[in-house]
Amino acid sequence: MTDAAEPDRRPTLPDSAAEHLLELLATKSWTLPEWFAAASRFRASDDLIPRLLDVVPSYPAYREELLDLAGSRGRDAAAERPEWASLRRFRGDAAWSSDSFDERLRWLQDRRRTDPADAATHLAARWHAENTHDRTAFLRALGTGLGSHDIALLESALDDPLREVRLLAVQLLRKLPDSPFAERMAARARAWVRLERKPLRSRLVVNVPASLDRSAQRDGIETAQFKNKGIRRWWLRMVVVATPLAVWEDVLGSAERAWEIRIEDTWRSLMWEAWTSATVLQRDARWAGALLEARGRETPRNVVALAPSRQRIHDIGSGRADGYLLDVDGQALLDGLPHPWPEPVVAKVVELLVRTAELHADSGRSLGPLSRHSHHTTLRRVEAHFPFSAVPMLEAVAESTRDTEWARAFGDAARGIERRRLLLDELR
């Protein structure tokens, strides 16, 4: 079943740019996001399309960019070759009525990327007619484009006879703090955890019930023993993780208070762990920022990347992160910053790299934690995210650095940035 494609009227990607794209893909270049953004007004040539479709499975992070470049002709080609079937993009909803489960799943996955609410409507209309295997696979597809349009279907799935479907529904609902599921979890949280106000210092008091009602079990709070946590600790964790973080702000006054409030020793680490998980699931920048402010280097990487860019830029520029920015723990501070990196970040990264180069020169060693090889990740990020205006500065640093290997590293970074500029010029 092939959908008719509209003509792709974009100009063809220049041959030189096409070859450079294949080189960037082969080296898994960190500059690919910037390149794809600049190339969005082009379409791939007929000769390039098969090569792009062949490599898409190896580059899942760039699936949509590669398919966008392949355009409508690429969509036609994907529909005609079985080995490219998973890359097919659909027009209309005819495939959803197919007798083929694989065809229907591909349609649902594709529609979730382009119109998730419409996909949810189609799935809900046939949900109770689907067999257990299909319901499980279809529900997994809702992870893409998850939103309020999915709440009704997921609430219904909590009553599914298949345990795997029920657990999937719980996992997805935990990411939707505006759902009835979240309201029920919030009610339990308020009943189990209360703020006890004291003249000198308030504290959180925890009182988990000895048993669960049927409603709690329907919401995925299981009665089975969970390894090493204790059953009541496990119940509390499940409730706190699924409770909207706004509830705790209402109880405590702010996200910052969560990491300051006194909590009974028995429950403190569990509450912190559960709040941290909730921050990631709900992708709450305010809570991520509060945790980063409180814990600094000890903040989990997946939380740091959610903290506001402005806060992370300030932490970097002010020197608060000097002790660990170039280490593994500090790399998350750089994740997702505005591209190209702003001046305070550029200046601090260069300052710390120069300091490291000088210490390495003084050490007299060729390898070790101060060598350029130990800072490969940061140097690749410099090439990918520094502004073009930073090239003269890096060239000057390369000239003045006493350590030969580090001088080469700074020079390589400058040349890498200049190459970025040249590749983008091809697309102008």
Is the link from the previous residue into 340 a cis peptide, with omega within 30 of 0? yes
- pLDDT tens digit sequence for 178-225: 999 999 999 999 999 999 988 778 999 999 999 999 999 999 997 655
CA distance to 194, 253, 256, 258, 306, per residue, from 248 (Å): 10, 8, 10, 8, 19
Sheet bearing 203-206, strands edge to edge: 193-196, 203-206, 262-263
Using DSSP, state whether 36 is helix, strand or coil.
helix
Looking at the predicted structure, is the pLDDT value of residue 3 above 70?
A: no
266 neighbors 205 (Cβ within 8 angstroms):
no
- SS3 annotation, 177-205: CCCHHHHHHHHHHHHHEEEECCCCCCEEE
Residue 183 near residue 154 (C-beta atoms within 8 A): no
Q: Which of 370, 368, 420 is nearest to 394 (CA)?
A: 420
Question: Please, what's the largest Cα pairwise distance for the chain?
Answer: 76
Note the Cα 251 to chain centre separation in Å. 29
Spatial separation of the C-alpha atoms in residues 96 and 1, rounded to whole Å: 11
- pLDDT confidence bin for 2, thresholds 50/70/90: very low
Check residue 1 and give its pLDDT: 42
To the question of pTM greater than 0.85 for the whole model, the response is yes
pLDDT in tens, 320-355: 999 999 999 999 999 999 999 999 999 999 999 999
Q: Compute the distance between CA of residue 414 and CA of residue 382 in angstroms, rounded to an integer.
A: 9
91 pLDDT exceeds 80? yes
* d(C-alpha 352, C-alpha 79), whole Å: 51
